[in-house]
């Protein structure tokens, strides 16, 4: 049985990904390349400072890593926290499917 405590590690990830701008940044970083704030801000209706705030949230959730190269900071994605959150959701989905199956069998009897 899945317990709420099983998702504690993933809670910051879910929280961080609960914003459309941060989802867009994760999408842009998902190519596995290093990106500067300027590159990530391109086409967004946010200032570089606004993008920096969103990247800070993603970094605190462990989703992105930053590295200072000269005068600029480059960001890369860390897929492991997202994978763990996905695995938690898969286990929760399986549990719900099993519960719904039992309920259906009970109702049909």
Give the pLDDT band of residue 103 (cuts 50, 70, 90).
confident
HEC per residue, 56-88: HHHHHCCCEEEEEECCEEEEEECHHHHHHHHHH
| pLDDT tens, position by position, 53-100 | 999 999 999 999 999 999 999 999 999 999 999 988 898 888 887 888
What pLDDT shows up at residue 43? 93
Boundaries of domain holding 65: 4-108
CATH number of the domain to which 90 belongs: 1.10.10.10
Q: How many separate helices (H) and strands (E) can be counted in the chain? A: 5, 3
User: In the chain, how many domains are there?
Assistant: 1
The mean per-residue pLDDT over the stretch 4-10 comes to 74
């Amino acid at each position: 049985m899945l317990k709420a405590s099983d998702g504690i590690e993933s809670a910051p990830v879910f929280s961080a990904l609960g914003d459309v701008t941060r989802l867009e940044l994760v999408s842009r970083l998902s190519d596995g390349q290093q990106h500067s704030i300027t590159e990530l801000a391109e086409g967004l209706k946010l200032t570089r400072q606004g993008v920096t705030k969103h990247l800070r949230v993603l970094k605190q959730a462990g989703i992105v890593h930053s590295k200072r190269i000269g005068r600029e900071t480059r960001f890369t994605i860390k897929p492991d926290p997202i994978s763990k959150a996905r695995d938690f959701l898969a286990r929760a989905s399986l549990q719900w499917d099993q519960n719904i199956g039992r309920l259906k069998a009970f109702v049909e009897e």
